[in-house]
Amino acid sequence: MSNTDLTTPGMALTDVILDLFRVNSLLQMRGDRLVANLGLTSARWQVLGAIVYAKRPQPVAWLARDLGSNRQNVQRIVNDLQREEFVEFQPNPHHRRAQLVVLTDKGNKAYLDALKLWTPWANELADGHSLQDIATTGALVKALRRRLEEGDVAVE
């Protein structure tokens, strides 16, 4: 299928997705700068967030699933976080080899400090955009994510 075969909605969505790629890169770059003084990167911050938002301690594979990432990448980040004492591993009563990842006091403090830096930045970034526009964009992104996660769209 060539670009000329795209429907009008397909072309519009392609433009949105290309912008999302660029926004993702910019968010990672700016996020890295935002939390650098805390010993974090955007990727480390994301993993800490996944740990915080989990209802209970989880193994790396589950964190990766929650992040929509692959286990190997998350394992590498978790190992780095563990070496720097942001997280620790605890025994998993359900699986001997898949240890649970838990925040340490240092990790919890770094995460909370990152949120303190994030709050004014997020508020400034949202400034000038209506709540309705933000909600509509969020709904579209979540719908696309759901379809991709469910394998609802065939990849040839």
Report pLDDT digits (tens) over 121-152: 999 999 999 999 999 999 999 999 899 888 87
The structure tokens listed for 134 are 């933000």
pLDDT at 85: 97
Cα radius of gyration rounded to whole Å, the chain? 18
DSSP character string of 43-61:
HHHHHHHHHHHSSS-EEHH
pLDDT at 90: 94
- 155 pLDDT band, cuts 50/70/90, is low
Cα distance between residue 86 and residue 102, in whole Å? 9
- Look at residue 95 and tell me whether its pLDDT is greater than 90: no
The alpha carbon of 143 is separated from its chain's Cα centroid by a whole number of angstroms, namely 16
3-149: CATH topology is: Arc Repressor Mutant, subunit A (1.10.10)
> Could you tell me the pTM of the whole model?
0.86
- Look at residue 12 and tell me whether its pLDDT is greater than 80: yes
Closest listed residue to residue 89, CA positions, set 110, 115, 63, 70: 63
The structure tokens listed for 144 are 């696309």
Q: Taking all residues of the chain, what is their mean pLDDT, rounded to a whole number?
A: 93
The structure tokens listed for 8 are 């009008």
